[in-house]
Amino acid sequence: MSKSRFPFFLSFITLLGFSSQIFAQWEALPEKAPAPADNPTTAAKVELGRSLFFDPRLSSTGTVSCNSCHNVMLGGEDNRPVAMGVHGKTGGRSAPTVWNSAFNSSQFWDGRAKSLEEQALGPITNPIEMGLKNHTVAINRVRAIKAYTPMFKKAFGGKNPVTIDNVAKAIAAYERTLITPNSPYDRYVKGDKSALSAQQVKGMKAFAELGCSGCHSGPAFSGPAMAPGTGFFMKFPTYSKNEYVKKYDLMADKGRGDKHEWKVPTLRNIALTAPYFHNGKVDTLEEAVRVMARTQLNKKLTHAQVEELVAFLQALTGEFPAQPMPRLPSTDGWTFTSK
């Protein structure tokens, strides 16, 4: 059975009346993210990556940084329906959260990037996002900021370390530190039974019994552990003959391979990342729960079920490590707009 079809099997079993509780393996979020062999996480890389992540000079206008759409001072995205890039341009999809993105099996809504490194380079040359002509222009900008060179040498060594690949590696290394452990849910599954309220425990049980855990499994609630770059995808909407599909225009974007397939997103900190779904059309978490139940499980929830599920999802908000604003390497007596 293909990995992309596995969720359909789980939903089918649930609809037959079997509890998907047997599939729910409640896991706490690890406090450290795995790193690829060719990009081990080091303090020097993280420091460099943080600066690059916050540096708007990687955009054509000098106004848009990675943090503009993936705000680590908030929930890791921008709380807009769709992201806004250079010159106020907007795309068709909402910005996914960068928090806990290290645990995704692929990146972007359609999973087209296999790694954080690959994902980091995409927006820089996207005409709607950061708008630079190509990666040669991007790395020439970084090289022109002379104070970056010693940071790259410290992070990577070698004679000519200021490369576009190392830009990607540094940003990815920083992003792998963006982990939010020790949520009430995490404390609960580690043995602290007072960490969740009675309503949240009911929501946790409903999450499994209704079939939500068929897709939103694993420690990040984004699917099972898989080889990096493999991707875990689900058709959305699965059930299209309902009022929500038209109301929220869920069929307009065909997703991965024009099949309406999407990467299963994390539910960590979901209470902080409204509006919801790939198109940002749903304003509240309560409504998002109703939409998912109807479009993915073909079920209508009671008011009590919605409240219980929302209470449980709120328990997935973790602890955010402090994010000191970096002092960016400066230019001396000139700017890119003056060149």
Which H helix or E strand runs over 150? helix 148-156
Residue 338's pLDDT band, with cuts at 50, 70 and 90, is low
Q: Which residues pair with 33 in a beta bridge?
A: none
Which architecture characterizes domain 3-30+181-314 according to CATH?
Orthogonal Bundle (1.10)
Whether 3-30+181-314 and 43-179+322-338 share one fold: the answer is yes
Domain 43-179+322-338 CATH class label: mainly alpha
- Residues near 322 by Cβ (< 8 Å), separated by ≥ 6? none
| In the block, residue with structure tokens 């380079």 | 121
Q: What is the pLDDT of residue 219?
A: 97
Give the tens place of pLDDT for each residue, 145-182: 999 999 999 999 999 999 999 999 999 999 999 999 99
Residue 20's pLDDT band, with cuts at 50, 70 and 90, is very low
- Residues near 247 by Cβ (< 8 Å), separated by ≥ 6? none
> Among this protein's residues, is 129 annotated catalytic?
yes
Residue 2's pLDDT band, with cuts at 50, 70 and 90, is very low
Q: What is the mean pLDDT of residues 48-65?
A: 97
Q: What is the pLDDT of residue 16?
A: 36
Q: Give the CA count within 13 Å in the CB-facing half-sphere of 151.
A: 25
> What is the overall mean pLDDT for the chain?
92
Q: What is the pLDDT of residue 337?
A: 72
First to last CA, the chain: 56
What six digits make up the tokens of 285?
């978490």
Q: Is 292 exposed, middle or buried (0-12, 13-18, 19+ CB in 10 A)?
A: buried
Weakest mean pLDDT among 5-14, 53-62, 70-79, 236-245:
5-14
Domain boundaries, the chain: 3-30+181-314, 43-179+322-338
**Residue 329 clears pLDDT 70, i.e. is over it:** yes
Give the tens place of pLDDT for each residue, 272-298: 999 999 999 999 999 999 999 999 999
Q: What is the pLDDT of residue 230?
A: 87
Catalytic residue from among 129, 175, 287, 308: 129
Residue-wise DSSP of 72-116? TTTTSS--SSS-B-GGG-B-SSPPPP-TTGGG-SSBSTT--BSSH
Give the tens place of pLDDT for each residue, 203-228: 999 999 999 999 999 999 999 988 77
